[in-house]
Chains A and B, each alone.
Chain A
Amino acid sequence: MTLLIVGSILAGILAGASGLLPHSYVGRVEAVIEVALLLVLVMAGIDVGRKREAWEALRRLGWRALLLPAGVAVFSVAGAMLAGALVRMPLREAGAVGAGFGWYSLTGILLTRIHSAELGALGFLANVARELIAIVSMPALARTLGGLPAVSTGGATTMDVTLPIVTRVTRGEMTAVALLQGTCLTLLVPVLLPLILHW
């Protein structure tokens, strides 16, 4: 699984940077991503719909299931602030970048609009990096630390891009938990990010 994931992304980045791919594909890559995403989401949905374990994990957790998105929200921001402090970045700016939770397109746009193009670019890249780190580390984390830590890395992306990966590496057990986390954090980004920047 890790090999498929890392191999596909690396091959894509190299192929994209090389400029050797036909323009008919590169020009439509966003559409290809959209269609492939919808396909894997339907498949992940079929898996979670069939498996009772997926919902049992959520039922067992009960209201505490909300502790995961809440905790991931707070600790993503805190972790980014801590990392930002290492390079003498203003805490508010580092925290706002962390509050993107991997949703790079919105983070880039929001930060560019309410702050500056520089912070927008940084927020975009940092959240692309978060998504990549999540995609690449999920299989190993699920094996070693367990399902919740694996899901947590994905932040807001566990409702779309990383959902099928969660499904595969946790054999469907964490799909519902991941959906909940991704949905909560996705809704939280446009609210929390400006708040942290202007607190």
Chain B
Amino acid sequence: MLLILGAVLLGCLVGALHLVPPAALPWVDRLMAAGLAVLLFSMGVSIGANPEVVGNLPALGLKSALLAAGAVLGSVLVAWLLQQRRGR
């Protein structure tokens, strides 16, 4: 948790103080895309290789997907309403 906040803050500082030379800026984007691909692939691996998750899927998969969908739809609805209000 602290490490996560520290990483974001470190980045903010580096960005705000313009410590990255302009020539290197495209690399920020590229590194983020490459890091994301590694991150998401590894997250997939940890889900796929977890016998508890895979074993529980037949029994709990549908129910958990339904609950997640409900929470996401609720969030999207309220965020969309807030966005409409802000637009006025």
User: Which residues from B are CB-within-8-Å of A128?
Assistant: 47, 53, 64
* B47 contacts A16, C-beta separation under 8 Å: yes
Contacts A67-B82, A83-B70, A126-B67 known; A45 to B44 CB distance under 8 Å? no
Interface string of B1-29 (1 = CB under 8 A from A): 10111011111111111101000000011
User: Which residues from B are CB-within-8-Å of A133?
Assistant: 68-69, 72
* B10 contacts A42, C-beta separation under 8 Å: yes
User: Which residues from B are CB-within-8-Å of A32?
Assistant: 38, 42
* A49 contacts B36, C-beta separation under 8 Å: no
* A33 contacts B82, C-beta separation under 8 Å: no
User: Which residues from B are CB-within-8-Å of A110?
Assistant: none
Q: Give Cα A126–Cα B33 distance, bound, in whole angstroms.
A: 27
Q: Give Cα A15–Cα B5 distance, bound, in whole angstroms.
A: 31
User: Which residues from A are CB-within-8-Å of B10?
Assistant: 42, 45
* A87 contacts B4, C-beta separation under 8 Å: no
User: Which residues from B are CB-within-8-Å of A37?
Assistant: 4, 7, 39
Q: How large is the interface on A (under 10, 10 to 19, 20 to 34, 35 or more residues)?
A: 35 or more
Interface string of A178-191 (1 = CB under 8 A from B): 01000000100000
* A29 contacts B39, C-beta separation under 8 Å: no
User: Which residues from B are CB-within-8-Å of A94?
Assistant: 67, 70
Q: Give Cα A126–Cα B28 distance, bound, in whole angstroms.
A: 33
Query: Measured between C-beta atoms, what is the minimum distance from B86 to chain A in Å?
Result: 7
Contacts A9-B41, A29-B46 known; A50 to B16 CB distance under 8 Å? yes
* A41 contacts B18, C-beta separation under 8 Å: no
The 4 closest A-B pairs by CB, nearest first: A45-B11, A12-B44, A49-B15, A79-B74
Can you add 6 more A-B contacts, CB < 8 Å, to A33-B42, A98-B70?
A13-B45, A44-B32, A46-B12, A76-B74, A80-B68, A128-B47
A selection of 23 A-B contacts at a CB cut-off of 8 Å is: A8-B36, A11-B41, A15-B44, A29-B49, A32-B38, A38-B4, A40-B39, A44-B32, A46-B11, A48-B15, A80-B74, A81-B70, A83-B71, A89-B63, A98-B74, A124-B53, A126-B67, A130-B68, A130-B71, A149-B83, A153-B72, A163-B8, A167-B32
Residues of A with Cβ closer than 8 Å to B? 4-5, 8-19, 21, 25-26, 29-30, 32-33, 36-51, 61, 64, 67-68, 71-72, 74-84, 86-87, 89, 94, 97-98, 101, 121-122, 124-130, 133-135, 137, 141, 145-149, 151-153, 155, 159-161, 163-165, 167-168, 179, 186
